[in-house]
Structure 1
């Protein structure tokens, strides 16, 4: 008997005799899930079922078509197939207009709320579909914007901002000046509470210093204390009430489906004339990126052939988009490492200046002294929400909170800093200009080589700033590439154990 006969027989039992999956399963000694799978296969387009009977479709391909019960869509997807009839390709064709349940929009809204208002979810009975696929994308987007709008209203009501604007992604080209919170003293009550929490944290640390493993309740208490310390410390930074009254906030959907709020932006119409000369301008990483190129191009001197270097790039094991993504993360790592090593920052600046003065057009510098700052978020999705991205934003915000609001007092502020603080500020500003992002449209072999030297000089450890995940790396490279990495990092045996996965 052909397997298709069984699929169709199960379908007849369900449709003609009204038997449920559990009853059919009991009669045939299989699980209800197996019955549901076969019922779904029996509902595949008769045309495709006949092709399966004729041997021109494999079972895994038929399973892929069964992700939907719409015969017209199944047949349309079949017509679009070329030489590549892999099951994953078929599933992709049938779900390309849907949104996966793991998508940030789906996570933010939730399957329950989406279904409550009439949204349908496509489920795959044959693979791990991680929650299925949301079919009504327009409805989902409407729910996302509505929920973000409620979050924006709550922020305005709770904090007093003049406006709050909703975006799915951070609007890097907004062009608005940004004000940062200023350092303030904690109230006596908050300071007392902070001292008490820190005291308990220190006592708990001393009590369990020698424990190899913490009990669950102790570990939970540590987490509570750390969260409370962070909450109280955050009160040391506060916006001026006058700024809150004329500034606004962006309410943004994070890549992980959580809400992100960026505060302190001033619209042009809300700018007061007496503040025109004041100077804290920051767009997350110190301002909008600039692509202006003021370097003088050479007439030929000082530019040896790069043919060899370019040829070496021809056979790349990684895609251009992934290289851009990874080098964006590496650039962020370089920035974080460089800001902590002022002496290396001075070397980097000196190198950049000399490279542009004496070797015009050589393009060998990795520190762009103009200064300009490349927006890394446009090269690596979600980089601002990473631990490293948040650490950089925190460093930048702390300096912004310390410098005077009026630019006329900036020189005095810098002069009055002690040597270490001044050098740390200098390193932070230099680190902001690091650009080691490798783009497919650019040829900067010398700059990439300089990035390597800089990484060696600051002893860059990317394990402190980045972790490979399915989303950030493994889901975007080939299986042989993953196995090569396992061989190098672990062993040949470990790679061989994974080879059939």
Structure 2
């Protein structure tokens, strides 16, 4: 006969005055975690004591009850009640609901405290979301829910955001087949069908990280940091009916604009309005575009203009700012550290003085009538207006034998492929369409000629900047060209056009105009242009008066514009274009200039992206690039992807790897350079004044901070 299981007896419960309770020293909780004592006290004051305390009677030496009870389980609740007593919100002898355990039990009091904390199950985030939603459905606002539960309103918004996730995916999460981070990633999009498609695509693979899910859901949207979005403004986009995708769980940098067609239309409309307003100033033509190609103004004369006159008050303000700036700099020049308020004031003064320098430029009405304007959008989304450019055919023509008309000057002939400028025509630059993915043969195909030309356009621009910053190399390159022409009578054009014919870039990527090299070249050219006289005789006198270091810097700047490191498809028939031999000489000399200036395309900011490289080459090329820049393991991980996904992942992997494609690399390695130097030294020794080397060293120190855990009750 089976023995009946012994029935258990639950501990009794009763109300015990608070002043009869003491906190047990056997309570296992020592570290503060979760809701604070103050928040718990506020919760008890609002809702009452939801959970009773577990207590045991304190016995004296003879085993008799003393009338006092210790609290081994519920210490935080005890502390919260104690705080309410101190705040005079609870009477000292207020009855407290307690479960009274057996004081003579064999179960250790430490075990009771430990079990009370271990056995509790935290609320599932999905249940928390459903509870929040039930409360808001019954009329409570998000702020009221947050205040009632003593949580940040952002927590409530985050949990309620889960309502945008497909119910099917919520069930997947409830079955623990998806992490909370993955579920939160789906909240950036409200399209349940799209969410389920993305989950089906990533659920069985290992590339299902939250950031990949977000990228898949937003790949057809435009980031709020895109210059088009900044130019138009998110508020204007939403006012026009545009839908935003937001991520409440991660820093989304403003979210994503879902309706790209609407955004492009708003950009075009705003540019049209700006162009119409500029045209009212009387300009002959206005050409507006969100992206203006680099070199668009080659062959156009820039009007000098005169800055608007300052009033007496403005002049006095400017002089006062300059004096204050000089006084602060002199005062803190030798100080170990500049106070924050002084640093902030200097920045304010610099901004104010910059506003004086950037005041409007006035042009003569006759010049305005023959010139035009280029409105565009810079890389930061701000409007950029370049006024006062005269086309060659619009220059004033003097009668034969007469002196040149005022304002007219000889300018470089426009390149044959220079864009045609139309009156009041607004065009929105479009990104080059990506080629359709197609079946590819095994192996690495040669890079397309156009892509090589675009890459070498970047390198040419960077070389120009590098040469301009190294007068010694510029002088050497110029002397090399002149000596070759005079003594050897070479007819082949190398990497330096000594007569400084600016070479246009027949193919260029969209980001070329906003590259670090382009901005550096443009800034330097503008600084020199502010000082160079327009009159020929005045120019000669000004050059004669220049100091040697300024003369060398200007020479380097001018010589740099003749640098040509562009790849062109060779013409074997020699009728036009460049021969294969001439191209080899050009690229070889470009490598020599790069070595002499220490040019590194990665250091000047070039990074491989989907647009400028990965979307233009075969899958084999992408894998090869990742293998070189990120390692064999990374190459294996992307090998099975589609071409579009592979290109995006390669861009992410190599963003900070300083990897460069072949056309941007420097031909030869250190051994080759050493061999070349040894060969040069075997020749007749050069004059001592031509020898010299410059070395630069860079070091970086890192520090690690170690946080100590904070002890709490």
TM-score scaled by length of structure 2: 0.50
Task: Give the alignment partner of residue 40 of structure 1, picking from 157, 161, 182.
Answer: 161
What is the CA distance between 1:332 and its match in structure 2? 5.3
CA–CA separation in structure 1 for the residues paired with 2:223 and 2:453: 22
Corresponding residue number in structure 1 for 2:384: 260
Corresponding residue number in structure 2 for 1:317: none
The range that moved more, 250-259 or 365-374, is 365-374
The answer on 1:6 being equivalent to 2:159 is no
Corresponding residue number in structure 1 for 2:476: 347
What is the CA distance between 1:264 and its match in structure 2? 2.2
* Gap change, CA 1:273 and 1:176, over 3 Å in 2: farther
CA–CA separation in structure 2 for the residues paired with 1:416 and 1:393: 17
Corresponding residue number in structure 1 for 2:526: 394
3-state DSSP of counterpart to 1:13: helix
Larger Rg: 2
Corresponding residue number in structure 2 for 1:337: 469
Corresponding residue number in structure 1 for 2:98: none
Partners of 1:182 and 1:402 within 8 A in 2: no
User: 1 or 2 for the larger relative contact order (CA 8 Å, sep ≥6)?
Assistant: 1
* Gap change, CA 1:328 and 1:216, over 3 Å in 2: farther
Corresponding residue number in structure 1 for 2:557: 428
Partners of 2:133 and 2:160 within 8 A in 1: no
Q: Deviations over 1:41-100 (max 9, x none)?
A: 244212223333444433322211121222122123334448432221211121122221
CA–CA separation in structure 2 for the residues paired with 1:65 and 1:185: 54
Question: Higher helix share goes to which structure?
Answer: 1
The answer on 1:455 being equivalent to 2:589 is no
Aligned length: 446
What is the CA distance between 1:114 and its match in structure 2? 2.7
CA–CA separation in structure 1 for the residues paired with 2:458 and 2:298: 29
Matches within 5 A, 1:244-393: 244-267=368-391, 270-274=394-398, 278-281=409-412, 330-331=462-463, 333-338=465-470, 341=471, 343-351=472-480, 367=496, 369=498, 371-373=501-503, 378=510, 380=512, 382-383=514-515, 388-393=520-525
Give unpaired runs (5+ residues) of structure 1: 291-313, 315-319, 469-474
Matches within 5 A, 1:171-210: 171-172=293-294, 177-182=299-304, 198=322, 201-203=325-327, 205-210=329-334
CA–CA separation in structure 1 for the residues paired with 2:131 and 2:489: 77
* Gap change, CA 1:386 and 1:449, over 3 Å in 2: closer
CA–CA separation in structure 2 for the residues paired with 1:153 and 1:423: 44
* Gap change, CA 1:288 and 1:220, over 3 Å in 2: farther
Give unpaired runs (5+ residues) of structure 2: 1-120, 399-403, 420-445, 447-451, 569-582, 608-648, 660-697, 708-713
What is the CA distance between 1:146 and its match in structure 2? 3.1
What is the CA distance between 1:248 and its match in structure 2? 1.1
3-state DSSP of counterpart to 1:248: strand
Partners of 1:183 and 1:402 within 8 A in 2: no
What is the CA distance between 1:149 and its match in structure 2? 3.5
Q: Deviations over 1:394-452 (max 9, x none)?
A: 146347x6345xxxx69x9659842758766543321113356899xx99984564234
Partners of 2:465 and 2:520 within 8 A in 1: yes
CA–CA separation in structure 2 for the residues paired with 1:140 and 1:100: 11
CA–CA separation in structure 1 for the residues paired with 2:658 and 2:128: 38
What is the CA distance between 1:37 and its match in structure 2? 2.1
3-state DSSP of counterpart to 1:250: strand
* Gap change, CA 1:178 and 1:195, over 3 Å in 2: farther
Matches within 5 A, 1:121-200: 121-157=244-280, 160-172=282-294, 177-182=299-304, 198=322
3-state DSSP of counterpart to 1:124: coil
3-state DSSP of counterpart to 1:380: helix
Q: Deviations over 1:271-290 (max 9, x none)?
A: 5444899423499xx99899
Q: Deviations over 1:19-59 (max 9, x none)?
A: 44344445655433223222222442122233334444333
CA–CA separation in structure 1 for the residues paired with 2:517 and 2:594: 25
* Gap change, CA 1:85 and 1:328, over 3 Å in 2: farther
CA–CA separation in structure 2 for the residues paired with 1:324 and 1:253: 25
Cα-Cα RMSD: 5.5
Partners of 1:331 and 1:437 within 8 A in 2: no
Partners of 2:165 and 2:187 within 8 A in 1: yes
The answer on 1:120 being equivalent to 2:243 is yes
TM-score scaled by length of structure 1: 0.67
3-state DSSP of counterpart to 1:402: coil
Corresponding residue number in structure 2 for 1:21: 142
* Gap change, CA 1:386 and 1:74, over 3 Å in 2: same
What is the CA distance between 1:477 and its match in structure 2? 5.7
CA–CA separation in structure 2 for the residues paired with 1:243 and 1:389: 27
What is the CA distance between 1:335 and its match in structure 2? 4.2
CA–CA separation in structure 2 for the residues paired with 1:384 and 1:126: 34
Partners of 1:108 and 1:257 within 8 A in 2: yes
Partners of 2:290 and 2:376 within 8 A in 1: yes
3-state DSSP of counterpart to 2:267: helix
